[in-house]
Structure 1
Amino acid sequence: MVGGVAREHGRRVTMIPGAAMDRVSLLWRLRRRARRGALCMAFFCVSMALLYAICAENSVPVTDAIFGVRARTRAQPRTHSVVKVLRGGAKPVVDPQKLPGVVPGDPRRPIPVLSSPNHTHAAGAAASKRKSREPSGFFAHLLPRPFTRALETLFGGRRRGELSGRVWDDEMSSSMLGSRLRKVVQNYQAMNKYGVEVSGPGGVSSRPKLRGPELLCQLKNKAEVATLTSDLLPFSSLPWAAQLPSKPLTSDLGPYRSCAVVSSAGSLRYSGLGKEIDSHDAVLRFNAAPTSGFEKDVGSKTTIRLINSQVMASDDHRFLSSSLYSSGALVAWDPAPFSADLTQWYNRTDYPIFVQYQRYRRLHPLQPFYILHPLFEWQLWQRIQDNMAEPIQKNPPSSGFLGTVLMMSLCEVVHVYEFLPSRRKTELCHYYQRFYDAACTLGAYHPLLYEKNLVKRMNQGSDRDIYTHGRVTLPGFGRMNCSRAADH
């Protein structure tokens, strides 16, 4: 060998010195490790994206499997194992808590929401003419849905949300819901817990579709806001009758010039609407929605707080001791059976509303406190059903819709915030809690989807107001001239 060149069987072979050989070997090993590292990182990213997609689709079972049951129950109690006995009787009925997505009925537990996000498949213009948007492309046909969602997440594709387009479409229907929520709605239809008797033109596709002014007048003429007074039977014969107001709410409160109805939606977070909300003459809030710490987004003024009987009965909401409820007037409600009179309802309430009412009145005798007449709730339900092309849930309307109509009876103009979601739409259920579920926007127990359809049709503001501020503008009943609509 001369100069690093040798001959082997007549062939020239270049010999690499030992030190150079070590450097080449080290470089080769580093490159191999880098390639392996890149492959591992890519696999890790795909796995995390896939896990994210699966968790979003099945949050409760996956969370339980990964983090354990206790981690999830800190935010939401389990919705099983408690058989609810309804309306004071000793005979247990079908346990609604064993149905998917049903709000449980144990007043000692916090009020949970549904367990996992659900996504609609709808987009486009009119609901009757649009087709569901499904993932398209080569991989969409070969891979299961979680994999396609993972690829969308990885490569920046927009996740299919609960809503599509810029603003709420007033032809939303249950056919646009995912399978989980559709099953929940079907369960409630089958249960008919309140013995609802369907009548009127609604529930069929051929129903007449009323315009906004006609809807408003129908609401004004056929859904009267009423509250319990001390002269009503059976309350007038009870020892605590004096604790009830002597006059209905509409005689004691208002009239107000402008009012704000502030939903508890998660899309209010980072909205910056606090000053605008507080600029109204009266502000209505719901249940346990706080203002402290969220003033920039939801304001601080509270004129009326509408609460359901489940909040009143829940130990976790500290209804009797929390200062949250001590400002403004309180209005409570509890659903009665559809055809029940006041005596039947008094003996068969969903939650102990009258017991809690008496306790609170003894602690706060000077604070205005009203209870909605249950007939008002079912009158509203009938207005919703009459104007929808399919059967709605046979359960009372949501607090949001009850509060909206309540303020329309007290105010000249009502602005409703984030009842129809804005561009900030999110699966976050409440602005003050970290829990996500599409059912908070689309409804499950309440016919919320259809309530939003009705509000959208009655809206007198612009679509841009909804998109940018989540703000709907509705007229007060006192300013409406319904003689022409009545003649029609």
Structure 2
Amino acid sequence: MKAIAFSVWIFINLVCFGMCGYIYLLWSQYWHYISKQQKITISEPSRLEKKPLVDYFQDLAPVDMHDVEWRHQKSAPVKRNSRPRFVNVHYVDLPQSTTNCGDNCGESSMTTDSQLAAFKNKLIVRLRQVMHDESSVFKSKNDNPYNVFFNGVRSTNIGSSQELVCKLSKVTPHIRTIDGKDEPFAGTDLGVRIPNFPLFSLDERYNNCAIISNSGAFKNSNLGSFIDSHDLVLRFNHAPTDGYEKDVGSKTTIRILNSQVLSKPEFNFLNSPLYKDIKLVAWDPSNYTSTLKQWLKDPDFDVFSPYIKHRDSSPETNFHLIDPRDLWRLWNFLQAHTSVRIRKNPPSSGFLGLALLLPYCSYVNMFEYIPSMRLTSHCHYFDITEDESCTFGVWHPLAAEKLLALNFNQAPDRTVFQTGYITIPGYSTVTC
């Protein structure tokens, strides 16, 4: 009996010692993280002054990340300016292409298969590093500005490109825009100004569609004429074409705008020719649990006033507002097909643009959404700002988006990493 009692006593002590050690390890890791974040916060102001106003797809990041405003709704609090937590991103020796992309760049053999494979592997490793860094429970539990909660299952079995497109088509058969006849918009100043015709008609179809990012990797790409050959070309926010036609083309069919482009005077939304004579669609994030009534009462940014003014000055423009609940449906889809936690902020305009076009295009080419071997530290093709986080994510869950986009893609690696675009089949071309 004494031997048994002594053995039990030793076992209990080992268990207690192990638990204490484990708790100490967790506690030390937590305070190590807090200490590291405090050092970053102290060193950030000078960096933030130089930080680009916008991210990779021109979805605006908060201008002053230290000036955080909170607003309250019945469902949950929402932080208007969520501070990006992943601010110190660095490349890991990504190889650069030694050739410029000509009209037949997809057929060029000047870049070897081994160079392409090395670039692809390093890029995927970096995207995964970013994604796993963002998934840290210490970083994610208090960084939830839109009160997002995901109670679904995170799957590791994504399937083929066509299977993935089929899954997305069931989640968002089409991206819904606000109908002025629906509550709570009916009879309001906003409701009477929403067009009584849809952004896309029921029989509107395109064979090949192009989504043009704002990436600095477009420089010296010579992709302009190829981009303009597409039936539909989608661009983002205030990205210009004048002076950049050789690399990004000049054709624009539709622009996706975020609410800061509409509401901030520096973008000259009401007067700029960039927003004339094309389809326009704007989006503004709501709280994850908000109703349309709550969103109408308290948008993230003032999207409604400039929308009304634009509709009054250009009533013939096909200009609509995205139903903000569809942003979170896309986020749910992205989280459901990512094995780790992702940022609890809305998807980028690029991912939104893909979901918007898939019902109407036989296939979609997304240019420089997945960075090609022309990748540099420049944020955009139209300015000289340098910041690697424009590529890997500063606010949106970009790393998770791009890894998923590689699973959507049907183009060969040479097209993706040398020419500079991925190809995704439209809903009409897949059998579900």
Alignment TM class, shorter chain as reference: 0.7 to 0.9
Q: 1:199 to 1:168 in 2, by over 3 A?
A: farther
Task: State the distance in 1 between where 2:301 and 2:72 align.
Answer: 7
Among residues 151, 155, 160, which one is paired with 1:199 in the alignment?
151
Task: State the distance in 2 between where 1:462 and 1:433 align.
Answer: 30
By how many angstroms is 1:210 displaced?
A: 2.2
Task: State the distance in 1 between where 2:52 and 2:379 align.
Answer: 16
What code does the residue aligned with 1:167 have? K
- Counterpart of 2:176 in structure 1 is 226
- Counterpart of 2:336 in structure 1 is 386
The answer to whether the 8 A contact 1:168-1:420 is kept is: no
Q: 1:74 to 1:267 in 2, by over 3 A?
A: closer
What code does the residue aligned with 1:119 have? Y
The answer to whether the 8 A contact 2:342-2:400 is kept is: yes
User: 5 Å matches for 1:110-129?
Assistant: 117-120=89-92
- Counterpart of 2:120 in structure 1 is 167
Q: What secondary structure does 2:164 align onto? A: helix
Among residues 210, 221, 226, which one is paired with 1:260 in the alignment?
210
* TM-score under structure 2 length normalisation: 0.75
Task: State the distance in 2 between where 1:308 and 1:362 align.
Answer: 20
Task: State the distance in 2 between where 1:234 and 1:464 align.
Answer: 49
Among residues 216, 231, 235, which one is paired with 2:185 in the alignment?
235
The answer to whether the 8 A contact 1:313-1:353 is kept is: yes
Moved more, 262-271 or 229-238: 229-238
Among residues 374, 378, 399, which one is paired with 1:428 in the alignment?
378
Among residues 203, 211, 228, which one is paired with 2:160 in the alignment?
211
Q: 1:336 to 1:97 in 2, by over 3 A?
A: closer
Are 2:402 and 1:452 equivalent residues in the alignment?
Answer: yes
Q: Which runs of 5+ in 1 are unaligned?
A: 1-57, 102-113, 124-162, 483-488
By how many angstroms is 1:96 displaced?
A: 4.6
By how many angstroms is 1:251 displaced?
A: 2.2
Task: State the distance in 2 between where 1:467 and 1:393 align.
Answer: 26
Among residues 301, 308, 311, which one is paired with 2:251 in the alignment?
301
Among residues 306, 315, 326, which one is paired with 1:376 in the alignment?
326
- Counterpart of 2:109 in structure 1 is none
Residues 324-354 of structure 1 show CA distances to partners (whole Å, capped at 9, x for unaligned) of: 1113110100111112221111112110111
Task: State the distance in 2 between where 1:233 and 1:443 align.
Answer: 36
By how many angstroms is 1:468 displaced?
A: 1.4
By how many angstroms is 1:393 displaced?
A: 0.6
Are 2:334 and 1:349 equivalent residues in the alignment?
Answer: no
Are 2:293 and 1:321 equivalent residues in the alignment?
Answer: no
Q: 1:96 to 1:238 in 2, by over 3 A?
A: closer
Task: State the distance in 2 between where 1:385 and 1:183 align.
Answer: 11
What code does the residue aligned with 1:238 have? T
The answer to whether the 8 A contact 1:272-1:297 is kept is: yes
Q: 1:169 to 1:387 in 2, by over 3 A?
A: farther
Q: 1:173 to 1:322 in 2, by over 3 A?
A: same
Task: Name which one, 1 or 2, has greater alpha-carbon Rg.
Answer: 1
User: 5 Å matches for 1:28-177?
Assistant: 72=50, 79-80=64-65, 82-86=67-71, 96=81, 100=85, 117-120=89-92, 165-167=118-120, 176-177=129-130
Task: State the distance in 2 between where 1:257 and 1:97 align.
Answer: 39
Q: What secondary structure does 1:249 align onto? A: coil
- Counterpart of 2:289 in structure 1 is 339
Q: What secondary structure does 2:260 align onto? A: helix
The answer to whether the 8 A contact 1:381-1:396 is kept is: yes
Task: State the distance in 2 between where 1:400 and 1:173 align.
Answer: 20
Q: 1:94 to 1:287 in 2, by over 3 A?
A: closer
Task: State the distance in 2 between where 1:178 and 1:381 align.
Answer: 15
- Counterpart of 2:30 in structure 1 is none
Moved more, 418-427 or 209-218: 209-218
Task: State the distance in 2 between where 1:270 and 1:314 align.
Answer: 31
By how many angstroms is 1:443 displaced?
A: 1.0
The percent of aligned pairs where both chains have the same amino acid is 34
By how many angstroms is 1:86 displaced?
A: 4.0
Residues 223-250 of structure 1 show CA distances to partners (whole Å, capped at 9, x for unaligned) of: 2311111211111131342211224323
- Counterpart of 2:113 in structure 1 is none
Task: State the distance in 1 between where 2:253 and 2:137 align.
Answer: 34
Task: State the distance in 1 between where 2:63 and 2:292 align.
Answer: 33
The answer to whether the 8 A contact 1:169-1:453 is kept is: no
Q: What secondary structure does 1:219 align onto? A: helix
The answer to whether the 8 A contact 1:306-1:332 is kept is: yes
Residues 413-459 of structure 1 show CA distances to partners (whole Å, capped at 9, x for unaligned) of: 11110000111011211111111112111113111111111111011
By how many angstroms is 1:374 displaced?
A: 1.4
By how many angstroms is 1:479 displaced?
A: 2.1
Are 2:415 and 1:465 equivalent residues in the alignment?
Answer: yes
Residues 104-148 of structure 1 show CA distances to partners (whole Å, capped at 9, x for unaligned) of: xxxxxxxxxx6x65235999xxxxxxxxxxxxxxxxxxxxxxxxx
What code does the residue aligned with 2:129 have? M
The answer to whether the 8 A contact 2:279-2:318 is kept is: yes
Among residues 194, 217, 226, which one is paired with 1:244 in the alignment?
194
* TM-score under structure 1 length normalisation: 0.67
What code does the residue aligned with 1:194 have? Y
Task: State the distance in 2 between where 1:238 and 1:171 align.
Answer: 48
What code does the residue aligned with 2:90 have? N
Task: State the distance in 2 between where 1:218 and 1:254 align.
Answer: 22
Task: State the distance in 2 between where 1:231 and 1:424 align.
Answer: 47
Task: State the distance in 2 between where 1:87 and 1:190 align.
Answer: 16
What code does the residue aligned with 2:169 have? K
